[in-house]
A and B are shown apart, each in its own frame.
Chain A
């Protein structure tokens, strides 16, 4: 423990990389959000002007930005509860089974979350295709009208949520399963002696004791949906008529397609602050509820 230089040698590469690609960028983002940097500015730094809060003032009036906020709220409000309920339900069902085969279901439900997002988008675009897609064909088989999965503004959002749900269940199901298996068996034995049925055991023991896991999943899921990006980016690129553009996609468009780096950085800081505030509110709400 005297060799004082060794630990620095071990941590140096990661500290340097994280400083350059995680910490420095925050500072750079803050600075450029007060400037008008674009492609000209990138080539010649003397062309960059300090413009104060203009980017922030402009972006909160930008109709596409406002639309992207509403879209993101739509994703969060419908996405978060569905992810929690479905992954918890799957975890409970898998945990209920005694047979060996139930373990295989863990693999099946987890698989979508390790699948490449572009491949997912390609396959689902085919499934959602209005003429050749499987979904509309199945609807036709049962004599239902076909659905404009990605063509209608509202339906497109729902279709993207369905796809994201499919990808999100796996990881959260595993977290819930781990938490369920951590509950001591004696609680259930005591409840059975008192004559509590399965439903009572679920609502009075399992769910309350899963409170920490549910809180963890809801925080991470919420942050994930606030940054919802890949699905609309590859599936719809924000269309039709910006109805699936999320805040994150708005930032990407302005930064890398329109090269308004300063403007996009201002948008990204608004998103960052929103994420911090929402997370803090959730923590506060949780602290009030803990009473055991």
Chain B
């Protein structure tokens, strides 16, 4: 008797979640299907879910007339640069985890304190500083301000504190230099946290929008999201084209996320609660 009410409840919860899940996924589904419809089908007053007439014309249009190839290249450059930042964060996290040095605690608290500063306060001064350094409208100006981050340093430090000191000492006795020790011993051990941070870094770099928008005056430096917002402004009525642009931005991230979701979601559990 108890067994059957339990199964009954499981089914109800499953149905509630399925309905909610469909609602949450609806914008994605709608976006992908619409991107394969011709413009005439989009603007008909009776919408269809599946494209009646399947077309790749919108995607072709993005690359042939809208410069999306260039935007894609810029976005990939930004992603690659942000991995350099990830490396710098790991280095700093390692130093805070495994070395004793003067001013260590004070510097670490200073880094943590930068997390409290709202982006709106630093936005304008950072622009003025970059302007003074003649870095506005350059790739360096887009990349540098967000290159390192306190939260990432904090997570690396948390993880690397758990590396046994004996292991590091043994490598030192074998004559490894400090930098080699970091590259060949510490980084390989830190694979789990590197995986989580790497995926999050990729997503953040791929999605970067506001800073490229502020810094880049030149179309040559636009990222995919800036290009997409341009598309929204200029071709406001052409939803087929806009949906193709969005699909092109979103689908790679969704695929990467689904492949690595276990790392990200479990990473939260590991790093968040310790």
Contact = CB atoms under 8 A, between A and B. Distances in A.
Interface of A: 1, 3-4, 6-8, 10-11, 13-15, 17-18, 20-26, 28-29, 32, 37, 42, 90, 93-94, 96-99, 101-102, 105-112, 114-127, 129, 131-132, 134, 137, 166, 169, 174-175, 177-179, 181-182, 223, 227, 229-230, 234, 247-248, 251-252, 255-256, 261, 264-265, 268-269, 271-272, 275
Given A108-B21, A112-B24, A102 B14 contact: yes
Contacts of A181: 269
A255 B124 contact: yes
Contacts of B100: 1
B92 interface: yes
Query: Which 8 pairs from chain A and chain B are nearest by CB?
Result: A25-B125, A10-B95, A28-B125, A7-B99, A119-B246, A25-B122, A22-B114, A14-B92
A105 B13 CA distance: 12
Nearest to B145: A21
Contacts of A275: 118
20 contacts: A6-B178, A18-B114, A21-B145, A97-B10, A107-B261, A107-B265, A111-B257, A116-B207, A119-B225, A119-B228, A121-B232, A123-B27, A123-B243, A131-B45, A132-B47, A174-B269, A175-B272, A234-B232, A261-B128, A272-B121
Interface string B6-19: 00011001101100
B58 interface: no
Nearest to A212: B273
A264 B107 CA distance: 30
Given A24-B125, A119-B246, A268-B124, 18 more contacts: A7-B95, A11-B107, A13-B92, A15-B107, A20-B129, A90-B17, A107-B257, A107-B258, A111-B28, A114-B207, A116-B225, A119-B225, A129-B239, A166-B27, A229-B119, A234-B232, A256-B124, A271-B121
Given A25-B126, A99-B10, A107-B261, A10 B21 contact: no
B76 interface: no
Contacts of A256: 124, 127, 214
A14 B272 contact: no
A179 B268 CA distance: 11
B148 A122 contact: no
B88 A14 contact: yes
B28 A29 contact: no
Contacts of A174: 265, 268-269
B14 A265 contact: no
Nearest to A131: B45
Contact of B228 (A93, A102, A122): A122
A94 B268 contact: no
A131 B131 CA distance: 44
A175 B271 CA distance: 11
Query: Which of B34, B43, B123 is most buried by chain A, counting CB atoms within 10 A of its CB?
Result: B123
B67 to A, nearest CB: 16
Interface in B68-101: 88-89, 91-92, 94-96, 99-101
B137 interface: no
A123 B120 contact: no
Contacts of A116: 206-207, 209, 224-225, 228, 246, 249-250, 253
Given A116-B250, A261-B124, A122 B232 contact: yes
B13 A96 contact: yes
A6 B180 CA distance: 12
Nearest to A265: B124
Interface in B203-262: 203, 206-207, 209-210, 214, 224-226, 228-229, 231-232, 239, 242-243, 245-246, 249-250, 253-254, 257-258, 261
B262 to A, nearest CB: 9
